[in-house]
Amino acid sequence: MTTDAPRTFRLIVTGGGTGGHTYPALTAIRTLQARLASSGGTLDVLWIGTPDGLEARVAPAEGIPFTTVATGKIRRSNNPLKMASPANIKDMARVPLGVAQARKVVADFRPDVVLATGGYVAVPAGIAARMCKRPLVLHEQTVRLGLANRKLAGSATRIAVSSESTLPLLPEAVRSAAVVTGNPVRPEVLTGHPDKAVAALGLHGFDRRLPTLYVTGGAQGSQQINDVVRGALPWLLERANVVHQCGPANHDALRRHAAGLPAAFADRYHLTPFVGQELPDVLALADVVVSRSGAGTLAELTALGKPAVFIPLASSAGNEQAHNARHLAEAGAAVALLGEVTVDQLREAVDPLLMEPARRDAMAAAARAHGRPDAAERLVDVILSASRSASGARD
């Protein structure tokens, strides 16, 4: 790994809106700080985000200086007429103001590198990096470039992508700037312990001779996943212990439903609205996962080598979750259930993974082959390389 870098490295990070864009940026910041500290250096960082995105909470909570610029959100549609909606036109009119604001921030801060992780706020900051002649590193979490990164690709010094499969999908003119790093995973996710999950969540009724299934629809829960799991619940509990993270809005209804389970099943079913700091331990306990297929989830599960049944969010931007799930399913590293998913389809997908340890182990190995637990270190290498290349060009 490369360690030489300026004693004080100045980094602007831009991106956010969702955890998929925010947490890779945060992990890259933490990793770069540690890398610099190991060689006696320090990091001076500024995050450009939106006032109402996740990054507006995460950055200050981590002690990272944070500022905002005007942004324009594009509401995508397959219908070109709908793309020209009044809301889109109004938001697009905000982009020049955002670029002007971002240009002042970049000119005043004088970063060694601007790192953009996606989301519409990345566009004005990325354009400002080009205008101020500062190196721009893009990071793409999904198989296909997101809209913001597509707009900025031609201006990027380096394009860090999460999958080899992304390379042939890039415009030919920018492929030479691309490098496969993987998607940074929070290091704490990789250090969980099953027994800690049992103690923290009180899972003492679990039968450890059976596999454990972890069901999650993300922080808010997923009505679609909750419904099919509810329909399959007695069948699942005959075969496995189940930790079910259902989201706050669904908790009461599912709790009432679970009250009718036989006692032996009820002891092996843990329903919770949210999994917080216990997540690494829950993932360590899980033998199989049923979840959405956002980029962050894929990065974590492949880094851990977890067999998964993905039920993609159909309304995700650019249908990216379906592309993510299909990509791993084609490699035998997951099962993808697309469209309207029935209870029977879930049973058919989960049954061999619960009942056949050899099948489970084979999928775990295939998932692990796609994982990049060192993705954050690789991305830091790219950031430092982009800075050195720019310094050499200026010398």
Q: What pLDDT was estimated at residue 5? A: 52
Contact 309, 217 (CB under 8 A): no
Helix%, strand%, coil% for the chain, nearest 5? 50, 15, 35
Residue of higher predicted confidence among 328 and 73: 328
Residue 323 has pLDDT above 70, yes or no: yes
Which band of pLDDT confidence, cut at 50, 70 and 90, is reported for residue 390? confident
* CB-neighbour burial class of residue 79 (10 A; exposed 0-12, middle 13-18, buried 19+): exposed
Q: Tell me the CA distances in angstroms from 253 to 174, 267, 270, one per residue in order.
A: 50, 18, 14
Please give the model's pTM, rounded to 2 decimal places. Answer: 0.88
Residue 213 φ/ψ, nearest 5 degrees: -105, 130
Residue 309 has pLDDT above 70, yes or no: yes
- Superfamily designation of domain 8-185+373-394: Glycogen Phosphorylase B; (3.40.50.2000)
* pLDDT (tens digit per residue) in 151-162: 999 999 999 999
Q: How far apart are CA 20 and CA 17, in angstroms?
A: 8
Listed range (72-86, 106-120, 250-264, 370-384) with the worst mean pLDDT = 72-86
Estimate to the nearest angstrom the gap between the alpha carbon of 52 and the chain centroid.
19
Residue of higher predicted confidence among 28 and 86: 28
Give the angle 269-297-314 at the CA atoms, nearest 5°.
Answer: 90
8-185+373-394 and 187-370: identical CATH topology: yes
Contact 213, 243 (CB under 8 A): yes
Which residues, in sequence order, are CB contacts of 134 under 8 Å at separation 6+?
12, 106, 110, 111, 112, 113, 114, 390
Q: Strand pairing partners for 113?
A: 11
State what percent of residues in the chain have pLDDT above 90.
82
**Average of per-residue pLDDT across 213-238:** 93
Q: What pLDDT was estimated at residue 317? A: 66
Fold of 187-370: Rossmann fold (3.40.50)
Which residue ranges make up each domain of the chain? 8-185+373-394, 187-370
* pLDDT (tens digit per residue) in 57-99: 999 999 999 999 998 665 444 555 554 566 555 566 668 899 9
